[in-house]
């Protein structure tokens, strides 16, 4: 079940949701950079917007099934983008740490994600989990 869009953006930028990631998730605009896509995907996870997560996952690596509805057990609590590197016009990486809680227990995901741009649209490809 998708959560109501918040006033402030969950991605950590100080902008309002509708002026930040909401433009991509709800507004139909394409994220202009791999970092913007990564932030909007984090926000989509936080809000349970499964369709957006699937649509922005490259078809070659997109899982067959994706279920973000865990009955509210997972709460995304913060995002820290460590670096964003453009390898060329169509390939980029974003290193980030996402913090979340599952049933009140704190966790973190440290990942170096790979992105590809096809026809002016960025897609998440895959990532390497970091310690």
**Beta-sheet strands, E only, within the chain:** 74-88, 91-102, 105-118, 121-130
pLDDT band at 4, cuts 50/70/90? low
43-67 average pLDDT score: 96
Residue 96 near residue 81, CB atoms below 8 Å: yes
Sort strands 121-130 and 105-118 into parallel, antiparallel or unpaired.
antiparallel
Residue 2 near residue 25, CB atoms below 8 Å: no
pTM metric for this prediction: 0.93
CA torsion through residues 117, 45, 65, 102, sign: positive
SS3 assignment, position 41 = helix
Structure tokens at 74: 């997972």
If phi over 0 gives left and psi between -120 and 50 gives alpha, with beta otherwise, what is residue 35?
Answer: alpha
Q: Is the pLDDT of residue 2 over 70?
A: no
Q: Is the pLDDT of residue 5 over 80?
A: no
Quick one: pLDDT at residue 1? 44
Q: Is the pLDDT of residue 24 over 80?
A: yes
Task: Say which range, 3-7, 39-43, 89-93, has the weakest mean pLDDT.
Answer: 3-7
Provide the CATH topology of domain 17-130. Answer: Nuclear Transport Factor 2; Chain: A, (3.10.450)
């Amino acid at each position: 079940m998708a959560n109501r869009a918040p006033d402030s953006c969950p991605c950590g930028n100080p902008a309002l949701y509708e002026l930040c990631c909401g433009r991509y998730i709800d507004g139909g605009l394409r994220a202009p950079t791999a970092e913007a896509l990564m932030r909007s995907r984090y926000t989509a996870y936080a809000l349970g917007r499964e369709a957006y997560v699937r649509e922005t996952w490259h078809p070659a690596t997109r899982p067959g099934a994706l279920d973000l509805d865990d009955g509210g057990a997972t709460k995304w609590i913060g995002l820290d983008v460590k670096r964003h590197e453009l390898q060329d016009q169509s390939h980029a990486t974003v290193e980030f740490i996402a913090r979340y809680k599952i049933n009140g227990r704190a966790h973190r995901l440290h990942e170096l994600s790979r992105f590809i741009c096809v026809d002016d649209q960025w897609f998440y490809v895959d990532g390497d989990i970091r310690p």
